[in-house]
């Protein structure tokens, strides 16, 4: 483990501690878990970290874009 220092606003610190407590983990572990999804998994292909970064729950979401953006029934 590398020890490092980060600066948080009072509010960020308060909320982070609260959430860590809620999850039953240390503040350090909470920060690590929050950081992990934003780190490129493969440094040679950084764009791939965004693959599947959202889950709409809709198997046809890519075919309903016009409906969502323009209100056009497809």
Task: Please identify, using beta-carbon distances, which residue of 3 and 73 lies nearer to another protein.
Answer: 73
Is 74 among the residues that bind another protein (CB under 8 A)? yes
Number of residues that bind another protein (CB under 8 A): 26
The residue (of 11 and 55) whose beta carbon lies closer to another protein is 55
What residues have CB less than 8 Å from 16, skipping those under 6 apart? 8, 27, 30, 31
The smaller minimum CB distance to another protein, of residues 23 and 61, is found at 61
Q: Which residues of 38-74 are buried (b: 16+ CB within 10 A; e: fewer)?
A: eeeeeeeeeeeeeeeeeeeeeeeeeeeeeeeeeeeee
Which of positions 47-66 make contact with another protein (CB under 8 A)? 47-48, 50-63, 65-66
């Amino acid at each position: 483990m590398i020890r490092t220092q980060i600066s948080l606003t009072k509010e960020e610190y308060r909320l982070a501690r609260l959430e860590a407590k809620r999850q039953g983990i240390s503040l350090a572990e909470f920060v690590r878990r929050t950081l992990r999804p934003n780190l490129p998994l493969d440094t040679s292909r950084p764009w791939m970290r965004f693959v599947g970064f959202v889950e709409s729950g809709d198997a046809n979401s890519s075919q309903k874009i016009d409906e969502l953006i323009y209100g056009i029934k497809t």
